[in-house]
Amino acid sequence: MACASGNSTNSNVISVESLIHGKEPLVKESPDWVRLSAASAIVLRLQSGRFSREFDFGGINLLLNYGQGCFSDCSYCGLARTRPGSFEEKSFIRVEWPLLETDRVVQQMAKYENRLTRLCISMVTHGRAYRDTVDITERIRRHVKTPLSILVAPPTLNVDRLQHFKEIGVDMIGIGLDAVTQELFIQHRTNVPNGRLDWDNYWKITFAARDIFGPWKVNCHTLVGLGESDKDLIDIFYTLKERQIYAYLFCFNPEPDSRLANHPKPDITRWRRIQLAKYLIEEVGVSRDRFEFDDAGHLIHIRMGEAELTRVASTGIPFMTDGCPGEGGEPGCTRPYGSYRPSEPYRDYPFLPDPNDLKEIFQQLRLNELAMA
């Protein structure tokens, strides 16, 4: 999930002055310093560690770092402004993100470039985020050719800035919408202590990015588990598909000390069915009238035969991590253990599920209850 956005009044771009009150302390900040995910640090050999199961992994996730942190305050995010603790101490998606010198990270990227599939810089809502993202992008592009995405902070951007990202070598843009309805967005991202993020601005930036970067080069993060219905999710999948924008699925995973720390994860059966539904919409082209909901918006049937659904699910692909692709279209950003603990069942698989995984997936899906020819 992403924590990047904001509100605007007369302009979509928040100035440095409007965000930074007082002089910032001299800390290890972007662009000279950057955080990277624990998995990225491991694959770049900047941190010791290993995964429970061995698989090829080459998706590198960077996160801007500022002493004053992110100026948004989303209820579910580990970087939220009012979550207890200093920005230095905060975790993001439940694990620590080591803080390292940007040039050292880029050096390691160049060294291991043949293993890398996708790079991504996550902005945060901060007055310097745009210029520092440009700086880091340029440092990377001087040494590394691996495709590069930016998970943007809409309040810091406008059309010209998006255009500039493209000109300096960014090929995909992600927007961390997360909340899939305006009501939920306001609840979790706008009407929060230091929130004020703006639903309309998120969409404005999404559509601007679509115009600039082209079809299937923009993605919206959609978070399952904030209180939305299945119908809300399926509606947004169709809305995005019509505009040739990917929906990337994320599973809510309670962040300790956040305002949603005690909010439950979505039920695994619901999660699996949403994964399957999205795949059917995006990749199989199933029409909207095949999805049947009850009055509360729960998905109760897919008007397809069980054998047909089984055939699609058996590929395992619907249950793999949604993320920007590598150069050849292969999964590029796979975020292992991003929304579940290693001791919990995989929510999304950073590799093609094996026969044992599929057996578990089918038990979770309960297709016999869902299918209706």
Partner 1 sequence: MIEIKNHKFPTDVYYDPATHFWVKVEGKIARIGIDDIEQGSRGGFVVVQFNDVGSEVRRGESLGSVEAEKHVGALKAPVSGRIVRVNDALLQNPRLANEDPYGQGWFVEMELTNFDAEKADLISGEANIRAWLLAEAKKYEERGWIAES
> Contact positions toward partner 1, by CB under 8 A?
38-39, 41-43, 45-52, 95-96, 108, 336-337, 341-343
Q: Which residues contact 23 (CB under 8 A, 6 or more apart)?
A: none
Taking alpha carbons only, the member of 38, 59, 20 closest to residue 332 is 59
Least Å distance, CB 144 to partner 1, is 17
Q: Which residues contact 358 (CB under 8 A, 6 or more apart)?
A: 313, 314, 316
Least Å distance, CB 261 to partner 1, is 16
Q: How far from the centroid of its chain's Cα atoms is residue 31's Cα?
A: 21
Q: Which two tokens stand for residue 224?
A: 């399952």
Nearer to partner 1, 292 or 357 (CB): 357
Least Å distance, CB 34 to partner 1, is 17
Angle at 98 between CA 69 and CA 123, to 5 degrees: 40
Least Å distance, CB 44 to partner 1, is 9
Nearer to partner 1, 42 or 116 (CB): 42
Nearer to partner 1, 51 or 203 (CB): 51
CA–CA separation, 104 and 110 (whole Å): 10
Burial of 48 (0-12, 13-18, 19+ CB in 10 A): exposed
Taking alpha carbons only, the member of 118, 21, 103, 32 closest to residue 330 is 118
Helices (H), 29-98: 38-43
Least Å distance, CB 96 to partner 1, is 7
Angle at 196 between CA 223 and CA 69, to 5 degrees: 80
Inter-CA distances, 228 with 11, 278, 284, Å: 30, 15, 24
Least Å distance, CB 345 to partner 1, is 12
Nearer to partner 1, 188 or 335 (CB): 335
Least Å distance, CB 212 to partner 1, is 35
Least Å distance, CB 172 to partner 1, is 25
Least Å distance, CB 103 to partner 1, is 15
Nearer to partner 1, 62 or 129 (CB): 62
Nearer to partner 1, 111 or 288 (CB): 111
Nearer to partner 1, 45 or 359 (CB): 45
Angle at 87 between CA 179 and CA 251, to 5 degrees: 30
Nearer to partner 1, 46 or 372 (CB): 46
Nearer to partner 1, 105 or 172 (CB): 105
The alpha carbon dihedral of 318, 258, 173, 325 has a sign of negative
CB distance 171 to 217 below 8 Å: yes
Taking alpha carbons only, the member of 258, 176, 173, 250 closest to residue 214 is 173
User: Tokens 């009044």 correspond to what residue?
Assistant: 9
